[in-house]
Amino acid sequence: MKSVLHFGSFGDTAFAKQLSLAIEGKKVMVLLDENSHRECLSALFQLVDGLSEAEIVELPSGEQNKTLEMCEAVWSTLTECQFSRKDVLIALGGGVICDMGGFIAALYKRGMDCIYVPTTLLAMVDASVGGKTGVDFGPFKNHLGVFNEPSHIFFDDHFLLTLPEKEIVNGLAEMIKHYLLIGDREKLVQMRSADFIINLEQIEQSVAIKKNVVEQDPNEKGLRKTLNLGHTVAHGLEGFLLDKEPMDHGLAVAHGLLVEAKIAENGGLLKPDDFQFIEDVLSANFEWQKLKKEDLEDIYNLMLNDKKNDSAVPSMVLLTALGQPILDQKVSKDMFTQAMVDVNFV
Amino acid sequence: MKSVLHFGSFGDTAFAKQLSLAIEGKKVMVLLDENSHRECLSALFQLVDGLSEAEIVELPSGEQNKTLEMCEAVWSTLTECQFSRKDVLIALGGGVICDMGGFIAALYKRGMDCIYVPTTLLAMVDASVGGKTGVDFGPFKNHLGVFNEPSHIFFDDHFLLTLPEKEIVNGLAEMIKHYLLIGDREKLVQMRSADFIINLEQIEQSVAIKKNVVEQDPNEKGLRKTLNLGHTVAHGLEGFLLDKEPMDHGLAVAHGLLVEAKIAENGGLLKPDDFQFIEDVLSANFEWQKLKKEDLEDIYNLMLNDKKNDSAVPSMVLLTALGQPILDQKVSKDMFTQAMVDVNFV
């Protein structure tokens, strides 16, 4: 089932009415964390008919709580409150809450209705779209999960006003990735500028790019893999730093986009001019972190164990030009190390 | 993805070769319980190329082990052994092993390959076909799960020789249900006879009936609900007896088929002649159990809480004639009680 997307503001009664209609006649559970509880729930309560009687379930925020154990607690509550398959779970929060909410709904009685209300830029432009749901399993990110699209997704850019600056930056990396994939140089030039403002129109355009890819290849057999641009290196960095000084996903993706562009340039796939343009766009938006050279082996080995890898050498999506990604490019340890050195990350 | 079905015997090298081909080039985990380990694994090991290096994971047999906790142990092993999404899990066992194996494979890295080798009649004619996977959650049967079809199913009727008589009876109830649903009076007359023998051809015919229904309605929006014939009452009986003297699923379904036929007759939906025919077929194959009249309220309330029910009164699939099921028939407590009395179950 494809999701129905709604763009607007819960301050607007017509938009709130759409959510009222989507939950009409259903028992409702709202899944959230302490941040979305504090910043976002009251707006919904005031404007959406029927929500005030909802079951509110608050999970502690953060990736470390994206576990089966947390899901079991929610399944227990759904069961105790006798939710049926026709009732609905609303995931109100960032990527962790959306991913877990979708997973919980997909498994409960083999599938209950689910609605996403993403409250961070990253969740809006990435996690909420495309039907990937799941939880972490030990140190492995999204190791258990299923493809399950929510019936509706509500995008309200006013929630962005509640976010700290680093959360906005987190989402920007995925937006830049989308425009690199479709080769929209004009948009990337805008994003290089300090004047660039994220509004509902920008979110809608970015979502449309991902949606278009996902609809053509929902189960990630080919085209959808291009969305992994920047992510092979990003997952290596995130995994390595997890028990040290965790790196936000968006920042890791920004690092990954730069390193992978350098690998493409070093391999003669990408022209130096194109690499320079990509570096300019990224450097205008992100502050780079340095790693130690002796850590590179650990990072490389983490990329090897990535869920999406099934060979003895990590494979990456690389750009041959703006808008021209190619899949399954094998990257040796030497190629990775050289690129990390070249972009001054070690 | 639809499953490829194979009917034969692992004693036949051509049949064993089909399994060899299905696992070629893949790392293999075989999930089984102590019964299928003892009775069925050695035949596979001798005949199927590449299986001798498989990871063998034995779970304790029985419905009480159909839990998330058991799945977590298997996910840990898959992770430790670095199984990728392209590797394969073979579920070798009865309904519990097939349901759990399918569930474990569906969630691992959002879906790895899975093959079923059902070893009981019930698993062959029912659990293995149709893509329902899952685990129990506390006292709630199959409360967490997803739809996920294995890539291949291998049916070998020689495994039936390893089964105790009551396991054959268990599967017969679902076969009778299939022929009631399509109205095959001739087959039902054969099944009434003591001479009826279960062989590969009988299994193939019964599987074809379920497969046909499931393919028309994979997600149980309408037609597939007819397969619930006999099951509303069966789930009530099974749930009630679970912590007393557990009733096998097939035997519970046989009881359910009779009680639901009586409800249909009492309601003027089913002719007395048709009821009598159904009773004759069932009585020729099953030994009836008696319950206490004071237990009927508990049993009725369990039917109310069934996963598939979403109203204040249980609804059932009832027959208006052989081959003529109708959906969503509301059944009051009085109607249920009267039928239980009329068929001498209290």
Question: Where are chain A's structural domains?
Answer: 4-162, 171-342
d(CA A152, CA A134): 18
Question: Could you tell me what percent of chain B has a pLDDT over 90?
Answer: 80
- Tell me the β-bridge partners of B22: none
Which of the two residues, A305 and A48, has the higher pLDDT score? A48
CB-based contact B123:B102 (threshold 8 Å): no
CATH of domain B165-342: 1.20.1090.10
pLDDT in tens, B91-138: 999 999 999 999 999 999 999 999 999 999 999 999 999 999 999 998
Q: For B169-205, give one letter per residue: b (16+ CB within 10 A) or e.
A: bbbbbbbbbbbbbeebeebbeebbeeeeebebebbbe
Any B CB within 8 A of A268 CB: no
Does A38 qualify as catalytic in the annotation? no
pTM: 0.92
- State the best of B109, B133, B224, B315 to mutate against chain A, taking most chain A CBs within 10 Å: B109
Give the mutation candidate from A1, A109, A133, A142 for the B interface (greatest B CB count, under 10 A). Answer: A109
Sheet holding B55-59, edge to edge: B4-8, B152-156, B113-118, B88-93, B28-33, B55-59
What is the predicted pLDDT for the residue at B49? 84
| Non-local CB neighbours of B109 within 8 Å, separated by 6+ positions | A143, A144, A307, B84, B85
Please give the residue that has the higher pLDDT: either A311 or B29: B29
Q: Identify the pLDDT of residue B1.
A: 66
pLDDT at A88 over 70: yes
Tens-place pLDDT, residues B71-80 = 999 999 999 9
- Residue count (chain A): 346
Q: Does the beta carbon of B139 lie under 8 angstroms from any beta carbon of chain A? A: no
Q: Please give the backbone phi and psi of residue A7, each rounded to the nearest 5 degrees, phi first.
A: -115, 130
CB A116 within 8 A of CB A150: yes
Q: Does domain A171-342 have CATH number 1.20.1250.20?
A: no
> Residue B62, by phi and psi: left (phi above 0), alpha (psi -120 to 50) or beta?
left
pLDDT score, position A242: 84
The 3-state DSSP class for residue B163 equals coil
Looking at chain A, which residue has its C-alpha nearest residue B84?
Answer: A310
Checking if the pLDDT of B220 tops 70, the result is yes
Q: Which residues pair with A91 in a beta bridge?
A: A31, A116
Question: Which of the following is catalytic: B152, B178, B249, B255?
Answer: B249
Catalytic residue among B167, B174, B238, B265: B174
Nearest to A85 by CA among B225, B195, B92: B225
State residue B140's pLDDT score: 83
Q: Examine the residue annotation and report whether A231 is marked as an active-site residue of this protein.
A: yes
pLDDT at B2: 85
Query: Which of A68, A106, A143 lies at the smallest CB-CB distance from B146?
Result: A106
HSE-CB at A171 with a 13 A cutoff on CA atoms is 27
Q: Which tokens go with A124?
A: 């809006």
> Is pLDDT of A229 > 90?
yes
A288 shares contact with chain B (CB less than 8 Å) = no
DSSP letter at A161?
A: G
pLDDT at A250 over 90: yes
SS3 content of chain B, % helix, strand, coil (to 5): 55, 15, 30
Is some CB atom of chain A closer than 8 A to the CB atom of B142? Answer: yes
Closest CA to B269 of B225, B221, B325: B325
How high is the pLDDT of residue B47? 84
CATH class, range B4-162? alpha beta
Query: Which residues make beta-bridge pairs with A89?
Result: A29, A114
Taking an 8 Å cut-off on Cβ atoms, the answer to whether B72 and A72 are in contact is no
User: What's the mean pLDDT in A36-45?
Assistant: 91
> What pLDDT, on a 0 to 100 scale, did the predictor assign at position B201?
95
Q: Convert the pLDDT of each residue in B307-321 to its tens digit.
A: 666 667 899 999 999
pLDDT in tens, A251-297: 999 999 999 999 999 999 999 999 999 999 999 999 999 999 999 99
Q: What is the helix (H) or strand (E) element at residue A108, kind and residue range? A: none
Read off the pLDDT of residues B263-321 as tens digits, 9 standing for 90 and up. Answer: 999 999 999 999 999 999 999 999 999 999 999 999 999 888 776 666 678 999 999 99
> What's the confidence (pLDDT) of residue B145?
98
CA distance B200 to B131: 21
- Look at residue B299 in the predicted model and tell me its pLDDT: 95
Of A216, A193, A170, A166, nearest in space to A280 by CA: A193
Residue B33 has what pLDDT? 97
Q: How confident is the model at residue B229 (pLDDT cuts 50, 70, 90)?
A: very high
